[in-house]
């Protein structure tokens, strides 16, 4: 297990953070930002799981119609727009300046995770339900769909681990600051689910959108919008990977499909 680079890198980071270099101000900043990020991240995930489980029919938004659909559309749009913008060159430079002082660059990944968590929390907590329920699973069908929903979330957790848990959770920045070391990003993901498809996080996220036991126009709008995002946004990510890893990523891209596994080919290889 320790030889697994996904585990080894995370353990190195945790070990270094548990032995922080002197600097009470730096340590306090790292701990406070890390705690805030992980708490809001957990709240966002729980809000997302609960809101989609009920088909976006239960939330705290109370915008009157017809303005509710405009507000909901803005909530849908704000996450992919900011999420992608902050990964561009200007967006990355902005991230390093959001935390005043000399530690903004080290904390950039944590800041990014914090902003993304706040965006998701806003989306699922502030949504204004339409009050319309088209279909609700019952009996055995309900439990089958619940199992599919739980499986999609487990797949998303596994894909996030394979991509680098320290980056996906926001721990890389604040733990690196604790240890007073430069953030060390995981290598290009190619293990676990990344052996099967190149974008398992986006695929798993899309699956959570479609495996819910309650269907409403709200859930359909969310599912269509974010499935389109899950299919298109990784193209920008792959451009960054192509620039960073060059021929290595080109070989990986030629070998591993984008979002649909090569089932027939894998079956022939197994024989």
Domain-wise residue ranges, the chain: 5-270
Q: What is the mean pLDDT of the chain?
A: 93
CA atoms of 40 and 222, how far apart (whole Å):
21
Using CB atoms within 10 A of its CB, is residue 1 exposed (0-12), middle (13-18) or buried (19+)?
exposed
> Strand pairing partners for 215?
135
pLDDT at residue 266 greater than cutoff 60: no
Q: Contact at 8 Å (CB) between 89 and 23?
A: no
pLDDT at residue 212 greater than cutoff 50: yes
CA-to-CA dists, residue 270 to 16, 92, 177, 196, angstroms: 42, 43, 46, 14
pLDDT digits (tens, 9 = 90+) for 25-71: 999 999 999 999 999 999 999 999 999 999 999 999 999 988 999 99
Name the band, by pLDDT with cuts 50, 70 and 90, for residue 89: confident
CB hemisphere CA count around 218 (13 angstroms): 27
How many other CB atoms are found less than 10 A from the CB of residue 85? 12
Cα 218 from chain centroid (whole Å): 21
Question: Can you give the pLDDT at residue 2?
Answer: 62
CA atoms of 178 and 166, how far apart (whole Å):
14
Question: pTM, whole model, 2 decimals?
Answer: 0.90
Strand ranges (E), the chain: 135-136, 214-215
Residue 168, H or E segment? helix 139-168
């Amino acid at each position: 297990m320790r030889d697994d680079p996904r585990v080894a890198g995370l353990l190195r980071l945790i070990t270094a953070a548990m032995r922080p270099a002197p600097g009470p101000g730096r340590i306090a900043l790292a701990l406070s930002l890390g705690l805030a990020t992980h708490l809001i991240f957990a709240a966002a995930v729980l809000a997302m799981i609960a809101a989609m489980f009920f088909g976006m029919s239960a939330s705290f938004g109370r915008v009157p119609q017809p303005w509710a659909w405009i507000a909901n559309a803005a909530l849908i749009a704000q996450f992919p727009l900011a999420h992608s913008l902050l990964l561009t060159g200007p967006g990355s430079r902005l991230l390093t300046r959001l935390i005043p002082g000399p530690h903004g660059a080290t904390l950039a990944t944590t800041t990014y995770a914090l902003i993304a968590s706040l965006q998701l929390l806003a989306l699922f907590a502030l949504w204004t339900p339409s009050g319309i329920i088209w279909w609700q699973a019952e009996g055995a069908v309900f439990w089958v769909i619940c199992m599919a929903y739980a499986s999609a979330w487990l797949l998303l957790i596994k894909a996030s681990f394979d991509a680098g848990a320290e980056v996906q959770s926001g721990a890389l920045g604040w733990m690196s600051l604790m240890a007073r070391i430069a953030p060390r990003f995981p290598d290009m993901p190619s293990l676990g689910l990344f052996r099967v498809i190149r974008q398992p996080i986006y695929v798993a996220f899309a699956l959570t959108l479609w495996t819910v036991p309650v269907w409403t126009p709200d859930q359909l709008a969310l599912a269509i919008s974010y499935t389109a995002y899950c299919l298109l946004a990784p193209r920008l990510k792959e451009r960054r990977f192509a620039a960073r890893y060059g021929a290595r990523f080109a070989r990986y891209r030629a070998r591993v499909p984008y979002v649909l596994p090569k089932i027939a080919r894998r079956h022939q290889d197994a024989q």
